[in-house]
Amino acid sequence: MVIEAIEKGQFVIYFSYVLIGLGTFLLVRMLMEEEESRAVQENLADLRNRKATNALVRITRPFFTQYFVPLVRGKPFWEDKRKIFKRKLISAALREELTPDEFIGFKLFLILFFPIVSGILRALDLIDIEWYYIVGSAILGWFYPNFWVYTRIKDRQKKILRSLPFIVDLLALSTEAGLDFIGAIGKVVEKATSSPLVEELGQILREIKVGASRAEALHEMAYRVDMMEINSFVAILVSADQMGASIGKILRQQSEQIRIERIIRAEKAGAAAAQKILFPLVFLILPAVMLMIFGPFILSFLYPNSTG
């Protein structure tokens, strides 16, 4: 009897340990789930608050970040693509909107999104396309983000190239007026109209304030913009700074050189336009003009008795 009582007492103790362990596990699990839920809600709120210039990114961000980005994040398979897309996102001024992993996740999401939307529209008789077009829209979904980023980069580079002579003139005037190069950049950022180049100059000031050297900040700008003209401009400024040459004189020479190159590009574009218009002029416009001029004479010769 005593042994049975002891065994029953040990059983109760062990059972109590099990219940305590199970209760602790359930409590910790509940707290962890609550913390995960709170983290997910905060992440979704952060995603909604992040700006997005592309409407499709803004609408679909919660979906591809939640379901497709985890398929990409940390995977070595995407490492090379991640580096390439990082450079493109920086050049397109989209690094605040999308990370490389989010960009890849967006591309993977569109592979499914475009065919699904096309299929729904076809099922509702809103569009009349064959099934292979619906399947082929998956390819469009993969390459659409690349096209979007490419157009952003080219548009931004055109704006920078257009404003470069004026900004360099302002920098030259400011340095000739007695300001140092960093002070001249600050004056330009303060007074000039907002543009991608002015934003890049503002980024130079912010990087210098946090400890970067002038050469490092200029090289970072060249890396972000990724233009031959900016690369050569930065290289000349860095070399002049290292040799102790007058920045104002260098800027004035660069301004003149940039304007000369701009005129040369305009002349090349005009010559290319003349060549492009030659084909429609000779094979389309000229035959139509000749037909209008000589058509009545040919008809009168072929039908001399016609009164029409």
Concatenating the DSSP letter of every residue in 262-295 gives HHHHHHHHHHHHHHHHHHHIIIIIHHHHHHHHHH
Residue (of 52, 143, 150, 156) closest to 99 by Cα position: 52
pLDDT of residue 250: 82
Could you tell me if 71 and 135 lie in one domain? Answer: yes
pLDDT of residue 271: 78
Q: What is the CATH number of the domain that holds 205?
A: 1.20.81.30
In a domain, 241, yes or no: yes
Which residues form the domain of 64?
Answer: 55-154
Q: Which of 101, 130, 154 is the last residue of a domain?
A: 154
Q: How far apart are CA 43 and CA 230, in angstroms?
A: 37
pLDDT of residue 305: 67
In a domain, 105, yes or no: yes
Could you tell me if 175 and 145 lie in one domain? Answer: no
In a domain, 220, yes or no: yes
In a domain, 21, yes or no: no
Could you tell me if 114 and 187 lie in one domain? Answer: no
∠122-123-127 over CA atoms, to 5°? 25
pLDDT of residue 2: 41
Could you tell me if 66 and 146 lie in one domain? Answer: yes
pLDDT of residue 40: 43
Q: What is the pLDDT of residues 77-89, one digit of tens each?
A: 889 999 999 989 9
pLDDT of residue 178: 82
**Could you tell me the CA-to-CA distances from 66 to 73, 83, 105, 108, 211 in Å, in that order?**
11, 22, 9, 12, 36
pLDDT of residue 5: 44
pLDDT of residue 20: 64
Q: Which of 106, 121, 154 is the last residue of a domain?
A: 154
Could you tell me if 150 and 162 lie in one domain? Answer: no
Q: Which of 129, 154, 179 is the last residue of a domain?
A: 154
Mean pLDDT by 10 residues, the chain (308 residues): 48 57 62 50 51 83 87 88 90 88 92 89 82 86 93 92 87 84 87 87 90 88 87 84 77 82 80 78 80 80 66
Whole-structure pTM over 0.85, yes or no?
Answer: no
In a domain, 46, yes or no: no
In a domain, 279, yes or no: no
The structural domain count of the chain equals 2
